[in-house]
């Protein structure tokens, strides 16, 4: 484990070339993540799963770097990065990106103490450029909801080692702010939405009641199998492959997360049944009062064509989350009308990419962004989303090259 110590004004910066779970004291890292209210993606358990599935085995050359920042003896910030070289033809770019996240997620809080964001980020950016020789740094994807957003941009502006080459938002994620009581959630919905839920529940429970279950250590693997199967069948019915087809290591990644985080009550699968029929299933993560709720699945049985299984499952699970203390749901990237109709709000996600101020590094970064833009337009938007489905070809996983260039 390579360890570098560096003093930066009032802060000391420690750089270790291992993922957080391999640090001498990962519990100190996790304590700071929880103390700052940062995202679940920065916990050492999440990072362990991410590096196992999205590290060097996913793309050779990926290397971990952890930063621990202290003021005196007190840890005031921790940041995990993934370093890799991406080639644009003959032009290489040495890229540093936040580890543990991809374009499906949104970051609202970095694990840095309040008031120390600008100083901590400036120290990290300076080290990435001058000591680790990075040409390109991505702090994406950042939510507009982040209270740190202005401070993050201020750090990027004030750091003489970097210059901002991209700051834009072309997509969003859904947030649901939850009240203290389930009745308040229902009361906030429009009359037509409440009527829809009551009508659907009446139709479903005409002959037998609904039954909800939550995964346990003995059932989580079989429930994960059912969840993946139900999710895939739902998307195949629309001519698409679904998340576990598109992202080739997603099934193994989320299964590992379930095993690592469930013992701390931070991961579970919720199911809704009608008799012997599985109606819907939801993969859920929690960090403090925040719930992460990106992936769900529902039955495509034609018997339920006139019933909104998605909204019935959503309302029931929101009520469960409220009762267990959740006050914010991060419902994932993308625009889904049923989530917005039932209390969700679409929030912009920002892409923030920096380049070293060295002229050659700026050219390397701009070449990479041009290549990334071309891949996104011609491969993803035209081929993957439109042409492939019209040709009715078998769904195939997303190109690794496209995933790596989502900065």
The structural domains of the chain, with segments of one domain joined by +, span 3-171+350-404, 179-326
Tens-digit pLDDT profile for residues 264-321: 999 999 999 999 999 999 999 999 999 999 899 999 999 998 888 989 999 999 999 9
Residue 257's pLDDT band, with cuts at 50, 70 and 90, is very high
Tens-digit pLDDT profile for residues 228-237: 999 999 999 9
Closest CA relative to residue 165, chosen from 346, 348, 407 = 407
User: With 70 as the cut, is the pLDDT of residue 324 above it?
Assistant: yes
- 295 contacts 283 by C-beta, under 8 angstroms: yes
Cis, bond preceding 141 (omega within 30 deg of 0): yes
pLDDT of residue 1: 53
Q: What is the CATH number of domain 179-326?
A: 3.40.630.30
Q: What is the CATH number of domain 3-171+350-404?
A: 3.40.630.30
User: With 70 as the cut, is the pLDDT of residue 131 above it?
Assistant: yes
Candidate from 90-94, 111-115, 337-341, 351-355 with smallest mean pLDDT: 337-341
User: With 80 as the cut, is the pLDDT of residue 354 above it?
Assistant: yes
User: With 60 as the cut, is the pLDDT of residue 394 above it?
Assistant: yes
Residue 2's pLDDT band, with cuts at 50, 70 and 90, is low
The HSE-up count of residue 383 (CA atoms within 13 Å, CB side) is: 14
User: With 70 as the cut, is the pLDDT of residue 55 above it?
Assistant: yes
Two domains, one topology: 3-171+350-404 and 179-326: yes
Question: Which structure tokens are listed for 367?
Answer: 């070449």
Residue 92's pLDDT band, with cuts at 50, 70 and 90, is very high
pLDDT of residue 3: 60
**Phi and psi, residue 156, nearest 5°:** -65, -35
**pLDDT > 70 in the chain, percent:** 98
Residue 207's pLDDT band, with cuts at 50, 70 and 90, is confident
Distance CA 22, CA 299 (A): 41
pLDDT of residue 397: 96
Bridge partners of 86, per DSSP, are: 93
User: With 80 as the cut, is the pLDDT of residue 61 above it?
Assistant: yes
pLDDT of residue 6: 65
């Amino acid at each position: 484990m390579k360890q570098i110590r560096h003093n930066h004004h009032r802060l000391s910066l420690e750089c270790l070339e291992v993922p957080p779970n391999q640090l001498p004291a990962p519990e100190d890292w996790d304590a700071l993540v929880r103390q700052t209210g940062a995202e679940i993606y920065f916990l050492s358990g999440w990072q362990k799963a991410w590096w196992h599935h999205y590290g060097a085995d996913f793309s050779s050359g990926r290397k971990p770097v952890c930063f621990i920042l202290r003021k005196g003896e007190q840890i005031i910030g921790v940041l995990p990065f993934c370093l890799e070289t991406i080639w644009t033809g003959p032009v290489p770019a040495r890229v540093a990106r936040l580890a543990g996240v991809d374009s499906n997620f949104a970051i609202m809080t970095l694990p840095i103490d309040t008031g120390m964001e600008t100083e901590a980020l400036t120290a990290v950016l300076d080290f990435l450029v001058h000591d680790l020789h990075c040409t390109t740094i991505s702090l994406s994807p950042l939510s507009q909801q982040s209270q740190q957003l202005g401070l993050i941009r201020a750090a990027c502006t004030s750091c003489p080692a970097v210059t901002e080459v991209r700051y834009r938002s072309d997509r969003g994620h859904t947030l649901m702010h939850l009240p203290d009581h389930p009745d308040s959630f229902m009361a906030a919905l429009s009359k037509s939405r409440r009527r829809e839920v009551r009508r659907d529940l009446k139709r479903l429970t005409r002959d037998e009641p609904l039954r909800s279950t939550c995964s346990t250590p003995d059932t989580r693997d079989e429930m994960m199998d059912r969840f993946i199967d139900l999710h895939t069948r739902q998307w195949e019915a629309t001519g698409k492959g679904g998340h576990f087809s598109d992202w080739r290591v997603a099934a193994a990644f989320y299964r590992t997360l379930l095993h690592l985080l469930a013992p701390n009550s931070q991961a579970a699968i919720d199911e809704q049944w009608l008799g012997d029929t599985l109606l819907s299933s939801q993969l859920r993560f929690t960090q403090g009062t925040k719930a992460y709720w990106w992936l769900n699945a529902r039955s495509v049985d034609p018997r339920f064509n006139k019933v909104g299984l998605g909204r019935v499952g959503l309302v029931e699970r929101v009520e469960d989350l409220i009762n267990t203390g959740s006050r914010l749901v991060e419902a994932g990237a993308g625009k889904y009308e049923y989530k917005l109709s039932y209390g969700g709000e679409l929030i912009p996600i920002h892409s923030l990419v920096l380049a070293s101020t060295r002229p050659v590094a700026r050219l390397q970064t701009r070449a990479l962004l041009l290549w990334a833009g071309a891949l996104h337009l011609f491969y993803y938007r035209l081929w993957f989303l439109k042409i492939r489905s019209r040709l009715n070809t078998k769904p195939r996983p997303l190109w690794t090259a496209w995933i790596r260039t989502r900065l």
